[in-house]
Structures are given as structure tokens and as C-alpha cells.
Structure 1
Amino acid sequence: MLKAFDANTAKRALELAREALQIETDALAALHARLASDESVGQAVSLLLNCKGRVVVSGIGKSGHIGRKIAATLASTGTPALFVHPAEAAHGDLGMVTSDDAFIAISYSGESAELMAILPVVKRMGGVVISMTGKPESSLAQLADVHLDVSVAKEACPLNLAPTASTTVTLALGDAIAVALLDLRGFKEEDFARSHPGGALGRRLLTHVRDIMRSGDAIPAVGLDTVLPDALLEITQKGMGMTAVVDPDGRPAGVFTDGDLRRMIDKVQDFSKVVMRDVMHANPRSIGPDQLAVDAVAVMEQFRINQMLVVDAAGKLVGALHIHDLTRAKVI
């Protein structure tokens, strides 16, 4: 069982949290102001934009954690990137780096021994090196083709030791570079979806009607002269709450739903004599199989319907779609 804080402890904890956030906020504001007269970010973006290979990000300790995030953000926004641990690189993983790659080295001190051991090799290979350090006069900064200054006045840590404000600034600058590259590459929502096929946006932008529609024998369909009892059997067996009514050429002429049946109960005495052509809704809503499933959602919401027919370019019935199909596919 957790021990409850007393009032003074809780107050002190809140003060420390607010102070840490203010220090990091100030550090970001200082970076923002510094970039107004710093051309290094533009130079780094230009190098990365013209890179023929991949962007290799490396760092150790907390800088390594930040480097992994920067590499992941770059990769998911149109800039091929990967993270390489500098110690592993010194023992073989440097073979993943080519002369066409751009190398981003992250070290707040700029003196990381693990990075300094491999960067001369990267330089000899002809690779471009971009450094992110808090010490512009450091060995790493001097070795790089472009140096990005991520210095902070102080860390949010009360001891001014644990990387806190400095890692926040480094991560934010990495995000800023990724966003700039995204825009300059003309990266669109569709491109982002292709990099995130398992995410909600990916499903919305990559799922087509044909991927989730019911087809073949699963399509509820009857002819124009089908009597109502047979149509009801089709509706029951196919479980969509409706049936398409098709002409002899297989084109939808109308649709009949279980809601239509309920509205007929008080008006019709003998269901056995009712034929579909007389009670169907003509000109039913339909969509093409190659359209996005999210487009089907828009139509259903607009016309407040739960089912749609799917027709091909010739207007023939090739599928049926229920709102539940879209829900199961997590399109909505």
C-alpha cells in the first residue's frame, strides 16, 4: 500500500515539478531564440535532404535514447534512418554505414570516447557528419561538417547532473529537423500511412472497400420478381439486415431492408403476393471496390444508412458493406 504524502511533502513535490518544467521550457525558448541567427540547422537539413543513403544516428547513454527517437521520427516521416550504438559500431556494426550516408552524432559533452573512436572512420569513408553537442568547442563539434548547438543554461536536475533539459532540447531539435525534411520532401498523409500500416491513420488511408466488403455468396441479392417471403429468407441467411434487388444483368435496381418490412406490416395483408420491384427502394447508395473504406463511412454518415452496395465500373453488383464491417476493420 502506498504511503500518503503529507501536505508539506506534496507541496514540495509540486514546486519541484513546476521548477523542472520551467527550466526545460526556458531551455527550449533559448534554443528557439538562438536559431534565429544560427544557420547550422539549415545547413544540416540541406545535407540530410541531399543525402543519397540513409541517416545514421548514434549516441550513448541518455543521448543514445534520444538518438533512437530521432532516428525513428525521421524514418516515419520520409527520411530513411536507423540508430547504431557507437560501442557496437566499433565492433562490427560500422559495416552498416556507407559513404552515401549522413551520420548524426549526439553527445552533450562532445567528448564521448565511443563516438570519437568511430567518427574518424566515417569521415575517411567520405560520410557527412552532423554533431549535436552542448559544447561548440568540443572535439566532436570540431570534427563534424555541421555542428548543432543544444547547450542549456542548466539541467532541470537539482544537482545539475542528470541529463534533463539538455535531452529535451536535443529531442526537440531532432523533431524540428524531421518536420522540416517532411515538408521539403512533400511528404503527405498517404505517405505517413504507408509507414504506419498498423496504426489508426494507416487503416483509414490504406484500407479499401474491396478489403472488407462481403463478396460472392455472402452478398444478399434477389431478383426484381422475387416474392417477399423469399427475399426475407435471403435477408435472414445473409445477416446484413437488407438485400440488394438486381436486374437480369446483375446491376442493382434497388434495395430492401428489414426496416422496410417493419413499415409494411400494417399495410400489407398477403406477403406472398408482394414482389421486390414494387416495394424496393430504387437507386440505392453504392460505392466502388477501389474507393477507400473511409469514403464509405462518409456516405453512410451523410445519409444515415448502415449498409451499402458495392458495384464495379460496369455498374454490376460485386459486394456489400455493413457498418459493422467497417467497425471490425477499425476504420471507424
Structure 2
Amino acid sequence: MSDITSEIAPSESALPTAAPPATEAPPAPEAVPAPETAPLAETAALAETALLTEPPAAPLPEVVVPRAPRRGLRAAIRWTAAVLVFAALGGATAYAVTRPERTRIPGLHTPDDGRWTYPPLALPELPAGKPRPFADANPGHHHYTDVRSLLLPAPVGGTADPAVPGPAGWLPQDSYLGLFKAYDDYLRKTEGAELREQGLRHIAARSFTTPDGTRTDIYLLQFLSGGFADIYAPNLGAQRLKVAPDAATDKSVASPAVPADVTVDASAESPPYGESATRYAFLRAGDVIALVVQTRKGSVAEVPFRQTVRLQAQLLG
């Protein structure tokens, strides 16, 4: 909208035309001056004649600059500006409410949604010239970094279990197999031999307990390549944890937050629980098969379980 730079006033062509001037009287003799009232009489006579021949001329309008329209215009501009400001603020607030940061909504206090607070996460640097696991230049889907650096760290307030190696060592194969229900030592030894034959290199592990009593165990099994991991993957469906032999499929973990190249199969116990409740998930990501287990007396909260599995998936993807 262009600015108003001048006030509107009538143009000169719009003004009414004045009556024609009266014809001058013949000059009087110099000796006898004309009476001063003679021009007035002639003007009156001419005016009467004009009244008989043409309509009376409209009186000249007084040119007055209107004040009210300007005040109204300024008021309209002020209201328009106010509406635009409130519309902008309203739009910004609506955007902030629909896209809030966790537990932060403008003008409102949101309660804790149950997620744990993890330290800032970052992928470790790769060796020079090595691609990421799902790059086109990496057909074997190898994780070229030390997989122990891909273990999800404990959240704020979590206490690490010193009996589990963490980033300082590797977990013995038998310790991992001891998590599962095996009917006798022969089957256990058979599974161990099968793992080695199918290209298992080593197992990274970390365990921690949060203040609410939830214990989290994370295991990363790295194979010689993604192909060897795929050979072993069908065994995962037949494996049952000792602590949750009757767990059922849990589809709540699926999310766009899980990288497209990482497969997640989660399970959860249904009540009534035994001594403790259990949730767990197997993750397949190239040459790594991961297992995330959470146990807690009473029940395992769904929100931190989903959060933990998704974060571990992102580190592997």
C-alpha cells in the first residue's frame, strides 16, 4: 500500500465560473464627474438581466481541508498494524506449540514425559578412507570403528555395573549365551560353536541401573560381515531369554527415529509378572546384531525402553 503524501483538495477547474464583467459606461464629460452611485446602478441592472437569462451562479464553496478522514485513516492504519502484530505473534506461538522442544512450551509448564536424560551423543570418527556401514562403497556393511565406542552410554544418574566390561574389554561368549534358556550343556556348547562358525568376532557389552531401579543391559555382537550376521539372524526368533520365556511381540518401538537400514524386533512380558518385568529388543545393523534388555521389579516403563532402543539404533546406523 503506497503512502499518502498529500491531502485531497478541489482542483481549480472545479470552481464555478464568475459572472461576466459589466460593460463600461461612456466616459462622462471631464467637467461633470459621474456620480459615484452610477456604477452600482448599472451593476444592479446587469444582475437583474442575468437573473432573467441564466440560472444563478452557485456560491463559491469554502475550501476546507477535512480533518476527520485523516484521523480515520490514521486509526485504520493503527488497527491494521495491531492486527498484523497479533497475527504474527499468534502464528509464532502456534508454531512453537506444535513444534516444542521437550518439556518446553511457551507459557506452559509440561510435566516430565518419562524419558531419561542422556549425555550428548556423537558417532566416533572413522579410520581414514573408511566408509560408513551402509554406504555404497561398503557392500559388506562393516562397522570400521571399534564397536565398543558404539555402546549407548548410561543416562544421567545411571550407575554402571563394574562386572560388565563396557568400553574397556570384551564379553566372554558363554556369558552372552547364559542369558538364554538352554535345556542342557550340550545345546549351549552347540550354540557357541554355531556362533563361531557363523563368523562372530567379539561381543561388546554395557550394563547400568537408573535411580528408578531399571537395569539396562546392552550387547553388540560383531560378525565378519553383514552377510555372516544375516546367516545367524534367523536364530534370534528361536532364542528365549531366561527372565522372559513367554514375552510377546512389542511393536511400539517402531518409529521414524530408527534408521531405515536398522531392523528392530522388540518383545515384552505381559502381566502378571514374576519377580521382575522384562522388555528386550534385537537390532540388526550390517555386521552387528545388538540386544537391549531392560528389567525392573514391578514393571518396565515403556517410554525409556523405546528411547533406549532407538538411540542405540541410531548409533549403529
TM tier relative to shorter chain:
under 0.3
Return the index of the structure with the highest Cα Rg: 2
Q: Which is richer in helix?
A: 1
Q: TM-score, normalised by structure 1?
A: 0.20
